[in-house]
A = this chain, B = another copy of it.
Amino acid sequence: MDSFNILFTSAGRRVSLIQSFKQVLTSLELSAILVTTDSQKNAPASFIADFQVQVPRVTDPKYINILKTTCEKYKIKLLIPLIDTELHLLAAHKRDFEAMGVTLLVSSIKTIEICFDKRETYKFFKKMGIQTPEILDAEKILTDPQAQYPLIVKPYNGSSSIGVTQVKNAKELKFFKDYIPNAIVQEFVVGQEYTLDILVDFKGEVRSVVPRLRIETRAGEISKGMTVKNPAIIAAGKKVVESLPGALGCITIQCFLLPNGDIKFIEINPRFGGGFPLSFQAGANFPRWIIEMMLGKEPEITIDGWQDGVVMLRYDDAIFVTRETIA
């Protein structure tokens, strides 16, 4: 059989994710080459791959052709993009890659457009009858003497919680609505925050849903979290992803569980999230299942076939290299 070569684009700090694929390929006794791309020569994840390719930024007109050349050169079977900003471009070139024998783990353009702009995400939730915090009109609030605070101000196109700000009064709202680029104002929700890792197979079926409670975050990413087998959250998350037009692969969604049991969704990222290693540790073996599906083996999966109550406590580890290596 051919080597099961995988390309991870914009690999950055995704060391654990790539290690999990490595581990799975070994346990399946598949020969494979793992390749990463990144715009920087000092991306930690590059140093655990077999080959690393430095590429221009996603916005560079040559970007997509360089990825195609890389796929050809390394006989790539599966391409897994790891940041939001290249998903749309890749989805637009999906057929080209498929013609080359490369499977893209990328959702449809429509799904990506819903996820990338939080105003579109809000409209999607509303249309599908999915509960979500209200998006509010800043000017109306500022002229309303009865307005309630706190509120959330955030960019409609942000990622990693960059710019997400709680405003406590009209003065702060007035300032931050102009200070934060592309700001929207959102109802403030009090509740437990969950991230869900959801696997969608190549037929568009939701196969696994893992809610992870955010115990603590750092720089917008989970630093302490726990898997929680809550059937209501699992069912709600499944419904969200089934409502998307053409989701594929690992879809990462965020929601709040309110004290009254309501579940309000705020965000969808149609790619592996930074906290996925917790789901993997709990037995939600998305890497293995994706590979098995591609090989035509039907993996045995139940929607909650993973371990409840697994806690991830993150700390900084490091790869050490020399100045010359990253020059």
Measured CB to CB, the residues of A under 8 A from B are 13-16, 42-45, 47, 172, 175, 179, 215, 218-219, 221, 223-224, 226, 274, 277-278, 281, 308-326
Known contacts A179-B172, A218-B219; A315 and B319 CB within 8 A of each other: yes
From A47, A278, A326, residue with most partner B Cβ within 10 Å: A326
Chain B residues, CB < 8 A from A15:
315-317
A287 to chain B, nearest CB (A): 17
A20 to chain B, nearest CB (A): 12
A185 to chain B, nearest CB (A): 17
Known contacts A218-B219, A224-B42; A320 and B312 CB within 8 A of each other: yes
Q: Are B322 and A42 in contact (CB under 8 A)?
A: no
Chain B residues, CB < 8 A from A14:
315
Chain B residues, CB < 8 A from A215:
42
Q: Are A315 and B179 in contact (CB under 8 A)?
A: no
When chains A and B are docked, how far (Å) is the Cα of A309 from the Cα of B221? 30
Chain B residues, CB < 8 A from A172:
179
Q: Are A315 and B313 in contact (CB under 8 A)?
A: no
Residue of B nearest to A277 (CB): B318
Partner of A320, one of B45, B175, B274, B311: B311
Chain B residues, CB < 8 A from A326:
311
Known pairs A15-B315, A45-B315, A47-B313; list 20 more (Cβ under 8 Å).
A13-B316, A14-B315, A43-B313, A172-B179, A175-B179, A274-B316, A277-B316, A278-B320, A281-B318, A281-B320, A309-B323, A309-B324, A310-B320, A311-B325, A311-B326, A312-B319, A313-B320, A315-B316, A315-B317, A315-B318
Chain B residues, CB < 8 A from A318:
16, 277-278, 281, 312-315
